[in-house]
Chains A and B, each alone.
Chain A
Amino acid sequence: MKRALTIAMLVLLAMPLLYAMSQLPPHGSATSPAYTHISPRYLERGPEEAGAENVVTDVILNYRGFDTNGEVTVIFTSLAAVLAVLLAGRKGDERPVREPAAEPSPPSVVVRFVVRLLGPFVTMFAVYVIINGHVSPGGGFQGGTVFGALVILITVVLGRSVAEKLQPLGVRRILQAAAPLTFVAVGVLGLALFGDYLAFPRDEALAWVRTSWLMVIEIGIGVGGAAIISAIFWQMGGDR
Chain B
Amino acid sequence: MSELFDLVLIALLIACALAVIRTKDLLGAAIIFSTYSLVLCLMWQHRGAPDVAMTEAAVGAGVTTVLFLVAIGRTVRREK
Contact = CB atoms under 8 A, between A and B. Distances in A.
A touches B in complex, CB < 8 A: yes
Interface stretch (A44-52, A106-114, A143-151): A143-151
A141 B54 CA distance: 9
Main secondary structure on B side of the interface with A: helix
Interface in B23-80: 50-51, 53-55, 58-59, 62-63, 66-67, 70-71, 73-74
Interface stretch (A14-22, A29-37, A232-240): A232-240
How many B residues touch the partner, as a band? 10 to 19
Contact of A145 (B50, B51, B53, B63): B63
A237 B70 contact: yes
A232 B63 CA distance: 10
B70 A145 contact: no
Interface residues of A, number: 18
B55 A145 contact: yes
Contacts of A149: 58, 62-63, 66
A65 interface: no
Contact of B62 (A56, A145, A237): A145
A227 to B, nearest CB: 13
Tell me which of A137, A148, A232 has the highest count of chain B C-beta atoms within 10 A of its own C-beta: A137
A142 B58 contact: yes
A56 B70 CA distance: 34
Contact of A138 (B54, B70, B73, B74): B54
Nearest to A236: B70
Contact of A233 (B50, B53, B70): B70
